[in-house]
């Protein structure tokens, strides 16, 4: 059996209608998994699911729109996945939000609360909904897509970075709790990746040059390069890896 084989596995990936989440869903499907595509808007979700079905066979993917801020919609997402695939083996908490750009002293309570709720509490909800069946089977993989922002301070995205640092601790705690039932819980901390979410940091050539000047690889990442890390953590290759934060940043954090 291939170390990276996901045949027979079912995965929920939030924020998977574009960017890193979409790349993870497509790569999981390429390695044999059934995938649930989810983001807020139905149209883009269905488009990605249809593309995956066209490539890997009818029934490989389903589209289930859900707003991560709604506990009810997340439960409906889990229920729909169970109905379609019979189980949830892998959860990828990729969706996140950042409604504020500026110093911490200027952030409104509502903005700070939204960041913490969407980027931490919603992850806890979704994992909590899927963990019981994983524990019963004695197998499962949970991946939170965090950020290298959780490792450093910022004058403009401080609240976002705080939420991403909290995700690292959520991973450590849950890995301790779920480990005896063979559930692995890890985080991926991407650096700058070519996504719409980070467009302001790479679209302009001069900004891109400044963003990559201090990195060993002298370039930004592509979504599929984060997907490769997710496959490792979800597959037999990562069966002895838990409670960890896997930095995938082109070396940005070492300089």
Domains and CATH numbers, the chain: 10-192+222-254 (3.40.50.720)
Q: How far apart are CA 23 and CA 88, in angstroms?
A: 19
- Residue 185 in contact with residue 178, Cβ under 8 Å? yes
User: What average pLDDT score do residues 69-87 get?
Assistant: 98
If phi > 0 it is left, if psi is from -120 to 50 it is alpha, else beta; for residue 185 that is: beta
**Closest among 20, 36, 53 to 227, alpha carbons compared:** 20
| Whether the predicted pLDDT of 200 surpasses 80 | no
Kindly report, residue by residue over 160-187, the tens digit of the pLDDT. 999 999 999 999 999 999 999 999 999 9
Sign of CA dihedral 236, 14, 167, 223: positive
pLDDT at position 78, please? 98
160 catalytically annotated = yes
Dihedral over Cα of 18, 192, 218, 199: its sign: positive
Mean pLDDT for 75-95 is 98
> Per-residue DSSP letters for 180-237?
GGTEEEEEEEE-SBSSGGGHHHHSSHHHHHHHHTTSTT-S-B-HHHHHHHHHHHHSGG
> Please, which pLDDT band fits residue 205 given cuts at 50, 70 and 90?
confident
The whole-model pTM stands at 0.96
Residue of 100, 101, 160, 232 marked active site = 160
| Average pLDDT for the chain | 95
Q: Kindly state the DSSP code that residue 110 receives in the 8-state scheme.
A: H
**Mean pLDDT value of segment 214-229:** 94
pLDDT band for position 62 (cuts 50, 70, 90): very high
Split at pLDDT 50, 70, 90, the class of 121 is very high
Query: Distance between CA atoms of 30 and 11, rounded to whole angstroms?
Result: 13
Q: What is the pLDDT of residue 210?
A: 83
């Amino acid at each position: 059996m291939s170390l990276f084989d996901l045949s027979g596995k079912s995965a929920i990936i939030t924020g998977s209608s574009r960017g890193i989440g979409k790349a993870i869903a497509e790569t999981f499907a390429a390695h044999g998994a059934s995938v649930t595509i989810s983001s807020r808007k139905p149209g883009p979700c269905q488009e990605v699911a249809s593309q995956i079905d066209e490539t890997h066979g009818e029934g490989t993917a389903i589209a289930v729109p859900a707003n991560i801020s709604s506990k009810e919609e997340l439960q409906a997402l889990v229920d729909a996945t169970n109905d379609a695939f019979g189980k949830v083996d892998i959860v990828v908490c990729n969706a996140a939000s950042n409604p504020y750009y500026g110093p911490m002293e200027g952030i409104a309570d509502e903005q700070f609360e939204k960041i913490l709720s969407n980027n931490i509490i919603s992850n806890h909800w979704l994992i909590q909904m899927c963990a019981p069946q994983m524990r019963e089977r004695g197998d499962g993989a949970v991946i939170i897509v965090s950020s290298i922002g959780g490792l450093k301070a910022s004058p403009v995205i401080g609240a976002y970075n705080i939420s991403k640092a909290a995700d690292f601790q959520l991973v450590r705690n849950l890995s301790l709790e779920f480990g005896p039932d063979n559930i692995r819980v890890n985080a991926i901390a991407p650096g700058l990746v070519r996504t719409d979410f980070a467009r302001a940091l790479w679209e302009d050539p001069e900004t891109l040059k400044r963003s990559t000047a201090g990195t060993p690889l002298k370039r930004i990442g592509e979504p599929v390069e984060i997907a490769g890390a997710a496959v490792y953590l979800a597959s037999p290759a990562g069966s002895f890896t838990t409670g960890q934060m896997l930095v995938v940043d082109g070396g940005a954090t070492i300089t």
